[in-house]
Amino acid sequence: MSVKVYLVSRPQFDVDSLLSFLRDQGTIWRRGAGAPSAEEIVEVAGRICYMSFGQNQSPRTNAEYIQRLILMGHESVLEHVNWTFLITGVSRAFTHQLVRHRVGFAFSQLSQQYHDETDAEFVEPSLLRKAPGALAAWQRTVVVAKQAYRDILKSLQALETQSGVEFQKKELSRAIRSAARSLLPNATETKILITANARALRHLFKVRGSIPGDEEMRQAAAELLRHLQVEAPSIFFDFKIGTLADGSPIVTWQGAGETQNEPEE
Ligand SMILES: Cc1cc2nc3c(=O)[nH]c(=O)nc-3n(C[C@H](O)[C@H](O)[C@H](O)COP(=O)(O)OP(=O)(O)OC[C@H]3O[C@@H](n4cnc5c(N)ncnc54)[C@H](O)[C@@H]3O)c2cc1C
């Protein structure tokens, strides 16, 4: 089982509405051709800050304009564009790290209290394949954990017919699954829907994408970035997907780390 990322929602720019605003202001926008919605929204967000439309507009292309904003450190404009991804084939250990990202993210994850994990799958770290003993120990343990989950569920479900149990049916079911899930491993596969803005995603890639010892995070970061480099290449222009010696991906930031704090026009 390996990580899979589905892009389920993307920004949509209403250009007619913007043009109507500009008409009211007595100005125009020299709109470049071919930029995706997300990048046009970011460009417009930047231009609104300086009202750099009409005769105040520089000849920069959309891509040049966005890259300059990023190099200046004017990244709040990137918060106007969000994408929603459905991520599957990842472990609970991975999502525990992911949900630590508090700013600019929204999460909706499969519940182990409402969802019966009797048929749970487990995400196997590829490193295990390098040592048969390690792989055998891992495989043995997940089989035992799954069986124990089923046994606990079955034993506790007998409580549903006993008198004197204080919970209502729904809460009893929650309590039973909570008790049973307590022994499920970190490797248990999960599904998570995330929505994140471009600034937050760039931050995630910077701090999480290139940690050699965290293959699952690198795999997920690379899958997310593959989508985003199609969706908004200029916003993610300074990230690259490389490959480590074992063939796994790594996301590196090519940023100069310098800011040019000049006013934009
Ligand atoms: C290599 C590595 C090792 C880690 N090890 C551990 C560990 O051992 N234990 C552990 O608990 N966590 C660990 N973490 C998680 C880490 O501490 C962060 O919680 C996680 O990476 C989210 O990053 P963030 O806070 O920058 O992101 P976000 O929560 O998305 O925040 C984005 C940015 O907003 C700003 N910000 C957000 N909240 C605040 C705030 N309250 N006050 C001021 N500024 C704020 C910061 O600039 C922050 O970088 C580790 C992360 C990495 C990458």
pLDDT grade for 163, boundaries at 50, 70 and 90: low
198-224 mean pLDDT: 98
Domain positions in the chain: 10-79, 126-181
Quick one: which atom of ligand 1 is closest to the CA of 102?
29
Q: Name which residue sits closest to atom 49 of ligand 1, judged by CA.
A: 203
Q: Write out the H or E segment, with its range, that includes residue 28.
A: none
Helix axes 169-181 and 132-157, enclosed angle (nearest 10):
160
What is the pLDDT at residue 262? 53
Q: Which residues line ligand 1 (CB under 6 A)?
A: 100-103, 200, 203, 207-208, 211
Q: Name which residue sits closest to atom 15 of ligand 1, judged by CA.
A: 100
Q: How much distance in Å is there from the Cα of 158 to the middle of ligand 1? A: 44
Using a 10 angstrom Cβ sphere, with 0-12 exposed, 13-18 middle and 19 or more buried, the burial of residue 241 is: middle
Name residue 107's beta-bridge partners: 194
**For residues 7 and 194, is the Cβ–Cβ distance under 8 A?**
no
**For residues 210 and 249, is the Cβ–Cβ distance under 8 A?**
no
What is the pLDDT at residue 164? 60
Round to whole Å and give the CA distance between 105 and 110.
Answer: 17
Q: Name which residue sits closest to atom 24 of ligand 1, judged by CA.
A: 101
pLDDT at 170 over 50: yes
Q: How many CB atoms lie within 10 A of CB 42?
A: 29
Q: How much distance in Å is there from the Cα of 228 to the middle of ligand 1? A: 23
pLDDT at 82 over 80: yes
